[in-house]
Amino acid sequence: MIVTNPQQKPAKTVGTPIDRWPAVFYAPHQDDKAIGMAGAIRQHKEEGRPVYLVLLTSGANRSLLDILNGSTRCTWHQINHNFQLTMEQMCWARKIEFVASARRLEVDKVFVVNDGQGLDLSTSYKQRVKCIKQTIKRFERKFPGASHHLVSGNLDLLPGGSATATNLSHQACWDAAMKLRSKISDFRFYRIYVYWKDQADRDSQYQHDLKPEWQACKQAALDEYKLFCPEAGRFALGYHDVPQLIDAAAADPKEYLDLLPRSRRGIWGKIKQLTFER
């Protein structure tokens, strides 16, 4: 249910306990929210908070389209598919998975930026940051005092690259939040690529233990990205793209999160608040 005419309340401090004000989760890619944020979404729902989910990008992915159309062999099915999809058709199929997964988590409302199209990743990085910043500001104006949940772009490194390799869309979320930190205090960031690592090696500033029922909802949300039924327009796009991440996240009873650097305000010491103790 949408909250209308929300009353103004005092600005919150990063890490304050969960209350009934809305929580807004921003996903750069369709499967990010299920991989790294689904447990936190279920926690916020359990606490009675409205949860809004925002998809930031269109889902355009040339490598994934090549797998679907047979230019690249599918290592999952061990065949060359031949679905003859256009990029636009694939993007809409990814949005279908996104919405189906969101329903599993019982989010209150789903938004897709740019009039349902998502951000065009061919634009400059500076423009991408600007668009994400404007999106966050719009939700803060609509829901003053909401908590804002994004991916941990600056600290969540890609595998097999340099020590500083980050996904640009993930990094843009972090940089947009950095530009807003003097105006919005409640930001939390979830790691996605941490699931490439062995479970014993996964780390972050804070780790969030999931209740069994939250983990079950997360697994159901991830399963929507594995549903392969082409005649119904379901192509398991998430699983064709990042099967290792999806399987690892489904098996791990933890989520991994970070905060913006605000050491002068003593944020790093508030472990009990930040780990959302039950």
Q: What is the mean pLDDT of each run of 10 residues along the chain (278 residues)?
A: 32 41 96 98 96 96 97 98 97 97 97 90 91 97 95 90 81 96 94 96 96 98 98 97 98 96 47 36
Which residues are within 8 A (CB) of 28 and not within 5 positions of it... i.e. 6 or more apart? Answer: 56, 57, 151, 167, 169, 170, 172, 173
What φ, ψ does residue 133 adopt, rounded to 5°? Answer: -60, -45
pLDDT at residue number 122: 83
What DSSP designation does 76 have?
A: T
For residue 194, give the nearest of 218, 170, 210 by alpha carbon: 170
Which of 64-68's residues contact partners 24+ apart within 8 Å by CB, and which partners? 64/90, 64/237, 64/240, 64/241, 65/90, 67/240, 68/235, 68/237, 68/240
Q: Which two tokens stand for residue 241?
A: 């793209």
State CA 74 to chain mean position distance: 25
pLDDT at residue number 156: 93
- Give the SS3 label for residue 112: strand
CA distances, 36 to each of 69, 117, 140, 196 (Å):
29, 23, 22, 12
Return the beta strands (E) in 12-78 as ranges. 23-27, 51-55
pLDDT at residue number 163: 61
> Do 172 and 129 form a contact (C-beta atoms < 8 A)?
yes
pLDDT at residue number 262: 62
> Do 73 and 128 form a contact (C-beta atoms < 8 A)?
no
